């Protein structure tokens, strides 16, 4: 992965000196070592040895803080989750009980609340990711023009990104309030019944997906835009010569060309979208804050929080976390394969 | 596509931008009215004159300034740490040859996909056992390094630092660290700024981890949470809640005005190279 220039790469200057033989002086070209001055010679040797160690060890030294810290706060906790998941936990004394094998997994998988949370997670994920990607690609297509005020437009689509999810939920919570909300106000004005956004399962999912989409669509549009701008312009000229209109060009030139980015965005939004937490927790207007009175919009990450942090069932929470983790990995891989397959077909 | 776009393109874009600005505008409108005005239908469409009054109520309800300070401290610490360690590691991966570098870099890329949030229970236990719960250190610890940071800096430095410069510095007798400091860091500065910005925003907007790690203290996000539940049982005072939301959003909005251009560049750069 390192892209060294062949020949005499930077780091190799001193390393090429033969390990066994007397090292050539490196301090200056051909500085003569005074005969009899043993001390000077030794100093030189020492410096050289130090330089060689410097060269050998430095890279490891530079990357080690990352790996040490990551092992501490990333890898270890993840593995420890696995350990927690196969043990019983005495909640009163915070002490580990005996090894229980897959009992926690079985318990969680049979818990109707957990199952519900899985369905909710998927439902919210689908409602957010699919429209989001479609809209983001379209916005990117619009931005990929010779616009006046390019920077202005690009910054404008990114505006919602500066609103933290917690703030976004509160704003949307007021818009979608069941009684006093403006959205319902307009619906009633138009002669419809108000929708119980906080009560009805699928409507609440739609409201939550709306917040997620609101915050991330512009962000993803910029990523797509970057990919579109890397498409060679003569491809469009060729397509235009063949009589392809703008929409046709977009479908048969742009989309196939941004396939890798498509995969990237879909995979990252899968990883993020399946872990939605802030929105379902704060959208709840019941005191328990477990994703609605009937857990109708509790996501699995929220389930892990409630079980692990609030109720202190470490084993069950960890089992749930691992199940979600495996699902995320499986879907990311599936997405990756599927997107490649589909876009390849549309390209040919 | 190379032709000058027509009105349709501008119109669609403008519609999208207005639509996405609307909720933010809404929070400022409602946040500057009284509770009674905010509950009317049709709702007010222009900002009112009661923002200061609402803001004072927010300051009485939650410890806004302390939460703001906490958010600032944690976000700055994480951003500085991520930038420093990522530049160091990214430089090593981009420019230095060492045994195992490919394997290690592959590991970094792989960990980018690992959802660390799922490890909240063990992290919580870890913090508790080391008596770090309810400290700002506990909030900052999990984000002192990010795999994305290392990846981002590596991608940038591969092209940004010419081999000849490193070689020249080494020929002049610079130690590795000095070479890094005098050659790589100046070249990496634009990417460092962008990475700082991103990490800062990521930590600033995070709600879940501070919720887990803190008990009596608050960051801005958990303080908003506290503000939202004050009116529990009665109808929510949206004028109050949205005034608080606006106050909590202002710092990032300011950052966006000052550095939005870099943010756009960063997103687009990360995408092309990633």
pLDDT in tens, A57-102: 888 999 999 999 988 888 888 888 888 888 887 665 567 778 888 8
Comparing CA positions, the residue from B251, B196, B256 lying closest to residue B65 is B251
Is there a domain that residue A179 lies in? yes
CA B92 to chain centroid: 25
Q: Which residue has the higher pLDDT, B34 or A221?
A: A221
Q: What pLDDT band is residue A298 in, cutting at 50, 70 and 90?
A: very high
Q: Average the pLDDT over B166-173 and give the result.
A: 84
Other CB atoms closer than 10 Å to residue A53's CB: what's the count? 11
pLDDT at B197: 92
Is there a domain that residue A116 lies in? yes
A186 within 8 A of B41, measured Cβ to Cβ: no
Q: What pLDDT band is residue A36 in, cutting at 50, 70 and 90?
A: low
* B2:A65 CB<8 A: no
Residues of chain A with Cβ-Cβ distance to B250 below 8 Å are none
* A226:B97 CB<8 A: no
Is there a domain that residue A144 lies in? yes
Residues of chain B with Cβ-Cβ distance to A14 below 8 Å are 170
pLDDT at A328: 87
Residue A119 has pLDDT above 60, yes or no: yes
Domain that holds residue A39: 33-85
Q: Which residue has the higher pLDDT, A140 or A179?
A: A140
Range in A271-275, B111-115, B263-267 with the lowest mean pLDDT:
B111-115
Q: Are residues A64 and A120 in the same domain?
A: no
Which chain A residue lies closest to B246 (C-alpha atoms)?
A167
pLDDT at B248: 93
Q: Are residues A197 and A306 in the same domain?
A: yes
* B267:A223 CB<8 A: yes
**CATH classification of the domain holding A262:** 1.10.3720.10
Is there a domain that residue A22 lies in? no
Q: Average the pLDDT over B208-219 and give the result.
A: 93
B136 within 8 A of B69, measured Cβ to Cβ: no
Residue A18 has pLDDT above 50, yes or no: no
Residue A321 has pLDDT above 80, yes or no: yes
pLDDT at B173: 81
pLDDT at B256: 93
**Residue with tokens 């505008």, as numbered in its chain:** B25
Tell which B residues from 110 to 149 touch A, by Cβ distance under 8 Å: 111, 113-126, 128, 141-142, 144-145, 147
A121 within 8 A of A274, measured Cβ to Cβ: yes
Residue A343 has pLDDT above 70, yes or no: no
Q: What pLDDT band is residue B145 in, cutting at 50, 70 and 90?
A: very high
Q: Are residues A162 and A231 in the same domain?
A: yes
Q: Are residues A182 and A290 in the same domain?
A: yes
Residue A32 has pLDDT above 70, yes or no: no
Which chain A residue lies closest to B110 (C-alpha atoms)?
A329
Q: Which residue has the higher pLDDT, A11 or B3?
A: B3
Surface-to-core class of residue A28, CB atoms within 10 Å of its CB (0-12 exposed, 13-18 middle, 19+ buried): exposed
**Residue with tokens 């800062």, as numbered in its chain:** B200
pLDDT at A158: 93
B41, B176, B225: best to mutate for the A interface, most A CBs within 10 A: B176
Number of domains in chain A: 2
A74 touches chain B (CB under 8 A): yes
Residue A54 has pLDDT above 90, yes or no: no
Q: What pLDDT band is residue A26 in, cutting at 50, 70 and 90?
A: very low
Q: Average the pLDDT over A171-188 and give the result.
A: 88
> How near does any CA of chain B get to the CA of A308, in Å?
6
Average pLDDT, chain A: 83
A283 within 8 A of A290, measured Cβ to Cβ: no
pLDDT at A93: 59
Is there a domain that residue A26 lies in? no
The domains of chain B are located at 63-228
pLDDT tens-digit profile of B45-54? 888 888 898 8
Q: Are residues A64 and A151 in the same domain?
A: no
Q: What pLDDT band is residue A1 in, cutting at 50, 70 and 90?
A: very low
Cis peptide before A215 (omega within 30 of 0): no
* Torsion angle of the four alpha carbons B227, A309, A286, B230, in this order, in degrees rounded to the nearest 10: -20
Q: Are residues A129 and A159 in the same domain?
A: yes
**Residue with tokens 């780091």, as numbered in its chain:** A11
User: Which DSSP state fits B180?
Assistant: I
pLDDT at A115: 96
Residue A35 has pLDDT above 80, yes or no: no
Q: Which CATH superfamily is domain B63-228 in?
A: MetI-like (1.10.3720.10)
Q: Are residues A188 and A314 in the same domain?
A: yes
Question: In a 3-state reduction of DSSP, which class is residue A88?
Answer: strand
Q: Which residue has the higher pLDDT, B112 or A106?
A: A106
pLDDT at A346: 57
A313 within 8 A of A107, measured Cβ to Cβ: no
Q: Are residues A269 and A166 in the same domain?
A: yes
Q: Average the pLDDT over B100-112 and give the result.
A: 86
Q: Are residues A68 and A194 in the same domain?
A: no
The residues facing A95 across adjacent strands are A90
Q: Are residues A79 and A139 in the same domain?
A: no
Q: Are residues A308 and A241 in the same domain?
A: yes
Q: Average the pLDDT over A196-219 and give the result.
A: 93
Q: Are residues A44 and A151 in the same domain?
A: no
Query: What span, in angstroms and rounded, lies between the C-alpha atoms of B20 and A213?
Result: 10
pLDDT at A3: 37
Q: Average the pLDDT over A187-204 and give the result.
A: 90
Residue A7 has pLDDT above 70, yes or no: no
Residue A19 has pLDDT above 50, yes or no: no
Is there a domain that residue A21 lies in? no
pLDDT at B18: 94
Sequence-distant (6+) residues with CB within 8 A of B102 are: A1
Q: Which residue has the higher pLDDT, A273 or B3?
A: A273
* A171:B171 CB<8 A: no
Residue A12 has pLDDT above 60, yes or no: no
Residue A109 has pLDDT above 70, yes or no: yes
pLDDT at A237: 87
- Angle at which helix A103-110 crosses helix A314-347, to 10 degrees, equals 70
Q: Average the pLDDT over A178-205 and give the result.
A: 89
* B271:A223 CB<8 A: yes
What is the model's pTM?
Answer: 0.87
pLDDT at A278: 93
Residue A8 has pLDDT above 50, yes or no: no
């Amino acid at each position: 992965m390192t892209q060294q220039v062949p020949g005499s790469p930077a780091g190799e200057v001193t390393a090429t000196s033969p390990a066994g033989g007397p090292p050539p002086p490196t301090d200056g070209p051909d500085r003569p070592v005074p005969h009899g001055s043993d001390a000077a010679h030794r100093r030189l040797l020492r410096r050289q040895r130090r330089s060689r160690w410097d060269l050998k060890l430095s890279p490891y030294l530079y990357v080690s803080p990352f790996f040490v810290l990551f092992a501490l706060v990333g890898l270890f906790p993840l593995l420890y989750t696995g350990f927690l998941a196969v043990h019983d936990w005495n909640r009163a004394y915070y002490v580990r009980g005996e090894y229980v094998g897959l009992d926690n997994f079985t318990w969680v998988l049979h818990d109707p609340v957990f199952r519900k949370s899985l369905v909710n997670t998927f439902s919210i994920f689908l409602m957010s990711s699919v429209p989001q990607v479609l809209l983001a690609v379209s916005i990117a297509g619009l931005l990929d023009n010779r616009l006046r005020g390019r920077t202005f437009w690009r910054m404008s689509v990114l505006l919602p990104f500066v609103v933290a999810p917690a703030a976004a939920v509160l704003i949307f919570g007021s818009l979608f309030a069941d009684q006093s909300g403006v959205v319902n106000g307009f619906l009633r004005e138009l002669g419809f019944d108000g929708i119980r956004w906080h009560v009805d399962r699928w409507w609440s999912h739609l409201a939550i997906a709306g917040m997620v989409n609101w915050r991330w669509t512009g962000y993803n549009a910029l990523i797509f835009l970057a990919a579109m701008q890397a498409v060679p312009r003569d491809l469009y000229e060729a397509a235009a010569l063949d009589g392809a209109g703008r929409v046709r060009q977009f479908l048969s030139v742009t989309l196939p060309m941004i396939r890798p980015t498509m995969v990237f965005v879909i995979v990252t939004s899968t990883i993020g979208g399946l872990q939605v937490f802030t929105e379902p927790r704060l959208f709840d207007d019941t005191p328990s804050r477990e994703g609605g009175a009937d857990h109708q919009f509790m996501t699995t990450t929220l389930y892990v929080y409630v079980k692990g942090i609030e109720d202190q069932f470490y084993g069950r929470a960890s089992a749930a976390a691992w199940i979600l983790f495996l699902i995320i990995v499986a879907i990311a891989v599936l997405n990756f394969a599927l997107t490649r397959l589909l876009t390849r077909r549309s390209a040919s | 596509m190379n032709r000058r776009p027509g009105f349709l393109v501008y119109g669609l874009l403008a519609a999208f931008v207005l639509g996405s600005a609307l909720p933010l505008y809404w929070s400022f409108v409602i946040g500057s009215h009284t509770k009674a005005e905010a509950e009317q239908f049709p709702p007010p469409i222009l900002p009112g004159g009661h923002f200061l009054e609402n803001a004072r109520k927010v300051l009485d309800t939650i410890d806004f300034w302390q939460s703001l300070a906490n958010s600032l401290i944690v976000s700055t610490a994480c951003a500085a740490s991520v930038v420093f360690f990522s530049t160091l590691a990214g430089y090593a991966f981009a420019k230095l040859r060492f045994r195992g570098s490919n394997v290690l870099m592959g590991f970094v890329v792989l960990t980018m996909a690992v959802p660390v949030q799922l490890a909240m229970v063990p992290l919580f236990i870890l913090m508790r056992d080391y008596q770090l719960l309810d400290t700002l250190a506990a909030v900052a610890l999990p984000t002192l390094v990010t795999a994305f940071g290392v990846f981002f800096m590596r991608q940038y430095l591969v092209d940004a630092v010419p081999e000849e410069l490193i070689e020249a510095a080494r020929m002049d007798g610079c130690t590795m660290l000095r070479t890094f400091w005098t050659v790589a860091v100046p070249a990496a500065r634009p990417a460092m700024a962008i990475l700082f910005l991103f990490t800062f925003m990521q930590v600033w907007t995070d709600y879940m981890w501070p919720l887990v790690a803190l008990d009596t203290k608050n960051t801005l996000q958990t303080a908003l949470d506290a503000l939202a539940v004050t009116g529990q049982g009665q109808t929510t005072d949206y004028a109050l809640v949205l005034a608080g939301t606006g106050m909590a959003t202002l710092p990032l909005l300011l950052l966006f005005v000052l550095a939005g251009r870099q943010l756009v560049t960063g997103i687009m750069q990360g995408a092309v190279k990633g």
